[in-house]
Structure 1
Amino acid sequence: MSARTDTEAEQNQLSSGITPDTLSAKLREKLEASHVDIADLSGGCGQMFEAIIVSPQFAKKTTLARHRLVNSTLKEEIAAIHAWTPKCFTPEEWEKKKGGG
């Protein structure tokens, strides 16, 4: 369900309790993430998020294993939202990506 107005979007976000900040805090705590950047792509209603997550826990894991780790960490939150797209990097991969390598 998408919000038709800013007020409706804010109410949806308040009722679910899911915000980029709450998602970021949980990922930092549970995955020891050194960098988390979460974008709300839903226009503020808190129903569609894209995330960049940098964690040493992703080392030696496939993309699928990384996504499963993130999804299990955010199981309750993901159940309450419409769309979730994580992009997972190790600290080394992230440094290389930022450096344009």
Structure 2
Amino acid sequence: MINRTILTICQELSANYLQEKLQRDLEAEHVEVEDTTFNRCACSFRVLVVSAKFEGKPLLQRHQLVNACLAEELPHIHAFEQKTLTPEQWAREQQK
């Protein structure tokens, strides 16, 4: 029974769901979410978030903002890798 519940939760955590939530809650200009789970049960993700809310904040505080946004979801995610950029940093990366 427990395994079925975990599987159901994992299936509900889609890349689209996470992308929409991050975009809405962090007022992000750009969000990319990649499901990196080997068997695609949606429990491992890599995200890129570009938001003006990151301006003037060190990396740790940026990650804390993302973690706070996904506080309900993170306990059900096995692996979570994040990259957080300001719009200015994102623009510079796009020019490379």
Matched with 2:64 is 68
Normalised by the length of structure 2, the TM-score is 0.87
Calculate percent identity across the aligned residue pairs: 36
Measure the CA separation in 1 of the matches of 2:71 and 2:60: 16
Cα deviation for residue 62 of structure 1 reads 0.3
- Equivalent residue letter for 1:39: E
Cα deviation for residue 60 of structure 1 reads 0.2
Measure the CA separation in 1 of the matches of 2:26 and 2:63: 12
Measure the CA separation in 2 of the matches of 1:20 and 1:33: 16
Q: What is the SS of the residue equivalent to 2:57? A: coil
For the pair 1:29 / 2:39, whether they are aligned, the reply is no
Measure the CA separation in 2 of the matches of 1:83 and 1:67: 14
Cα deviation for residue 19 of structure 1 reads 0.6
- Equivalent residue letter for 1:27: L
Q: What is the SS of the residue equivalent to 2:49? A: strand
The aligned length equals 88
Aligned structure 1 segments of 4 or more residues deviating by more than 2 angstroms: none
Aligned pairs for 1:1-101 (under 5 A) are 12=7, 15-16=8-9, 17-43=12-38, 44-100=40-96
Normalised by the length of structure 1, the TM-score is 0.83
Residue ranges of structure 1 left out of the alignment (5+ in a row) = 1-10
